[in-house]
Amino acid sequence: MRAWATRAVLAMALVAGVALAPTPAGGGRGGRVPTGFERRGGTAWTTPAEERDYLRDLVAAAPGPERAGWGAARVDVTRVGTSARGRALELITVAGARSVSEPVRVLFVCGQHGDEPAGREACLKLVRDLAADRSPAGRRLLERVTVLVLATPNPDGAAAGTRATAEGLDLNRDHVAVSSPEARAIRRVLREARPHIVHDLHEFTEPTGTAATPTLYLWPRNLNVAPELRSLAIELARDRIGTALPAAGWAAGVYGEDTTGRRLGGDGDERLLRNAAALDHAVAVLVEVGARPVSALERADPGLLGRRRVAAHLVAARATLRMAAERGDAITAAVRTSRERAARGAAAVYFDGADNVPAGRGAVAPMPCAYRLTPDRYPSARVALAEHGIRVEPDLRVETAQPAGAMAALLLDPRARFAVAAAIPEPCAGGSGIAGAS
């Protein structure tokens, strides 16, 4: 067994609080209600019915407004959409008494692919542990951070155990066109809640990065992302998550790089959530946990394998929350600066490339001042423009000097890889980019 795998087995319960044996149905540690996964010792995932009961019990156990002064967390569950098969998409909010003018809003998206269940389990446990934490440190965290959780963003896929939605769509390739109800629900949360940090949880079974590394992380690579947001995302991914995971016993590496750091791909695809969320002015990060056994013990014990996958996600999630609490001022300032700059208009738009792959020839252009849609092409773009919060003038002119201006270009420019309509670019005076943009 690899040394890190041995350490991980011993550290699992201490670092992430995941029980190493089945939990009795009567309650978890301290009387807290366990998930179905915990009750079965990690041998089977929490069912949709168990998730509904679990969240109902968490909301019922949370204090009402009359106890807000006690420092206990408030838990709310709000329906934000409906899947293609009619299942509810729910947003869980965990918040405490506010002690700062602008708490950092952290959104966890816990299972875009229905056959990657460990992220969902980690998020369900995280919500309960935050709500139940009465320690001074737990209280301080929720005074500074509001936690938003989409535990089951692909409920049809989760119920069927499939990667895709019921319509056969890869949800993590639908954050530009937002053609699925699930993607529209996520977009609505991004547009209305405006999270400062978006943490996207995934699993992998095939090699996707560093050989034999059970945990991987990555930041937004799209070249249209504001540099201050990318810098903070790299700090979160590499310095925080990439440090916390090895400290807990798991080797970690950059998604898309081999053991020498050689890149295996660009991954600047704007349809991916970490890129789309960053274009919507958030510090975004991807965490991938290996779903295959990494030791003889895990091959012999499916429960151990499941608990390791959940525990690794929990370690990464808590690293994200720590950075949110400690670097809140820098994060909120970077998000604000990014939005304000976009509202003035970007100087250029990139249609290809990534921060590790140069843009191809013709893939970068001066940002047009606007795009003009024709009446026959507007219907194909109408839903996506509205869901991204992009302002459309009565004459079907879309100015790029607005917070979602970069996404407007990626949706409408004929040169964009995933455009939903071919609009007519209107250059600025002199044929250059936005005048005065910086």
Amino acid at 290: G
Dist CA 81 CA 54 (whole Å):
20
Supply the Cα-derived Rg of the chain in whole angstroms: 22
- Which region holds residue 161: left if phi is over 0, alpha if psi is between -120 and 50, else beta? left
Please classify residue 47 by burial: count the beta carbons closer than 10 Å to its beta carbon, then call 0-12 exposed, 13-18 middle and 19+ buried: middle
pLDDT, mean of each 10-residue run, the chain (438 residues): 48 41 41 87 96 94 55 87 98 89 95 98 97 91 96 98 97 98 98 98 74 84 97 98 96 81 77 98 97 92 96 98 97 98 96 89 92 97 98 98 98 97 90 42
The CA-CA-CA angle for residues 280, 411, 376, to 5°, reads: 140
In the numeric block, which tokens belong to residue 99? 């002690």
8 A C-beta contact, residue 152 and residue 135: no
Specify the CATH class of 3-336 in words.
alpha beta
Would you state the pLDDT for residue 41? 96
The pLDDT score that the predictor gives to residue 19 is: 40
Which are the contacts of 410, defined by CB distance < 8 A and separation ≥ 6? 176, 224, 270, 279, 349, 351, 416, 418, 419
Residue ranges covered by each domain of the chain: 3-336, 345-431
